């Protein structure tokens, strides 16, 4: 399915999604946090899209927003989309988990939690993955400062 047809189909499910191709070959979808889980479930379960493979989940600090970018592929139809979700709440960033949809998200959401501090609602085991429990702050945020370990050029 071409990007235009994907956009028409997906846009009929949730009317206020934002679409772009951002100089890439993949359709980019921006979704509000409260609509994320519904969209992701539909992307995987709809027989016309069947996005059965979550191949990348990354935390991003867009400053002031924090967010997550998901790369999805349908191994059946060979189409790919990029889904982006943002929250402006830097003090308590919360996004719904997609680990109940794609099991591989469990590990990646823990990594995002560890380095960006984004909490994932309904995650089965949300805890630090790489850093110790005593670690203060989230080192991949743009406003993170560590006077001891910071490398300055």
pLDDT at 147: 78
How many Cα atoms are found within 13 Å in the side-chain-facing hemisphere of 43? 32
- Digit-coded pLDDT (tens) for 30-69: 999 999 999 999 999 999 999 999 999 999 999 999 999 9
Does the pLDDT at position 96 exceed 70?
A: yes
Does the pLDDT at position 20 exceed 70?
A: yes
pLDDT at 69: 98
Summarize the confidence of residues 94-113 as an average pLDDT: 98
pLDDT at 146: 83
| 3-state secondary structure at position 73 | strand
pLDDT at 150: 66
Instruction: For residue 27, count other CB atoms closer than 10 A to its CB.
Output: 22
**Strand ranges (E), the chain:** 18-20, 27-31, 53-61, 66-73, 80-87, 94-96, 119-121
* Residues 6 or more apart whose Cβ sits within 8 Å of residue 24: 82
Q: Which residue has the tokens 């379960």?
A: 45
Summarize the confidence of residues 127-150 as an average pLDDT: 90
**Considering the chain, what is the average pLDDT of its residues?**
95
The reported pTM is 0.94
Token pair listed for 36: 């994320």
Does the pLDDT at position 12 exceed 90?
A: yes
| CA trace torsion 76, 104, 116, 30 (10° rounding) | 20
Read off the pLDDT band of 151 (50, 70, 90): low
Q: List, as own/partner pairs, every contact residues 85-88 make where C-beta atoms lie below 8 angstroms and the sequence separation is at least 24, other chains included.
A: 85/30, 85/31, 85/32, 85/33, 85/36, 86/30, 86/33, 86/62, 87/33, 87/118, 88/64
- Digit-coded pLDDT (tens) for 24-34: 789 999 999 99
Does the pLDDT at position 21 exceed 90?
A: no
Q: State the DSSP code for 136.
A: -
């Amino acid at each position: 399915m071409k990007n235009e047809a994907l956009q028409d189909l997906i846009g009929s499910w949730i009317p206020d999604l934002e679409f772009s191709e951002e100089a890439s070959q993949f359709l980019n979808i921006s979704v509000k946090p409260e609509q994320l889980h519904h969209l992701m479930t539909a992307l995987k379960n709809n027989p016309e899209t069947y996005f059965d493979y979550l191949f990348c989940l990354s935390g991003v600090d867009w400053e002031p927003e924090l967010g997550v970018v998901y790369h999805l592929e349908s191994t059946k139809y060979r189409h790919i989309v990029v889904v982006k979700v943002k929250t402006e709440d830097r003090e308590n960033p919360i996004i719904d988990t997609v680990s109940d949809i794609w099991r591989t998200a469990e590990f990646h959401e823990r990594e995002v939690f560890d380095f960006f501090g984004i909490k994932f609602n309904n995650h089965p085991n949300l805890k630090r993955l790489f850093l110790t429990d005593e670690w203060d702050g989230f080192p991949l945020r743009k406003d993170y400062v560590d006077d001891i370990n910071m490398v300055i050029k």
